[in-house]
Amino acid sequence: MIDLKDVSYKEILCKYNNTDFERLCNHKKVKNLEDVFNIYKDYQGKERVMLDRDFHRLFKRLKITNLKDGKPNVYEIDSYSDDSLYYNDMLNKGNILIFDTPTSKVSHTYDDVKKMKISDIKYDISHCMINGHSYLEFICNRIGGEKLLIIQRALNNYVAQIERQALLTDDRNINLFTYQKAEKVKVISDMIGDLILYLIDNSSELLWGQLNEFRYNLYKSSIHNNLLKDREIREAIIEYISNYVTLEEAYNLLNDKKILKRFIVR
């Protein structure tokens, strides 16, 4: 059964841009359609007639969906231990999440997600439309099914990294995700061949994709060769690893393989 708490507030507010009703909802910091509905019940502004019509239509659709035993297609994202860490979600975009394989530049599956702020991705994947369909799937092309699970995993890995980085400094006015990034890249670049070899020899699937024979050979080639494709693969993996370890962990990657297992699915 779909509850108003599951439904994105955007289902209705997207029609009321730059209106008094939208400004009131923003001021009240609505989190879902239930919050919007509670404001609407006492609202007597000039948008009232349109709101009556739109909520009538929404509730009619909701009733039909629930009669069909509708289920909300929503995905839970891990919370932070400290609310101040949510500030980082406004600073970072989906292009720092891990879901693209470095061995292919053809796929554009996640292009729309990469342009979004982390805060928006988190919200849209954890809320649905009135018919129960994922809101993120609704606004992004090529996203659905297994891809939503991959995005959920990528977001939870991001949350875990922010938590790790937060232990390194008391400053909450910086982008923790990029904290000490240059130093990490330098350390990891010096050992990238050994890191790639460990990852491909000890997995059948990495966070950025399954490992078949073709991809294995591409990764192996990138260790020993210096063609453009080899450099691109190395640079992509350096980027992934440096983004999801701390500086101390970067120094210990070859000694503590538990850190590298963070990037192995199976």
Give 178's contacts (C-beta < 8 A, 6+ positions apart): none
- The per-residue pLDDT for 108 is 84
Q: What is the pTM of this model?
A: 0.94
CB atoms within 10 A of CB 110: 21
- The per-residue pLDDT for 106 is 65
Helix and strand element counts for the chain (H, E): 15, 2
Average pLDDT over residues 186-212: 95
- The per-residue pLDDT for 17 is 94
Q: What band does 102 get if pLDDT is binned at 50, 70 and 90?
A: confident
For the chain, what is the mean pLDDT?
95
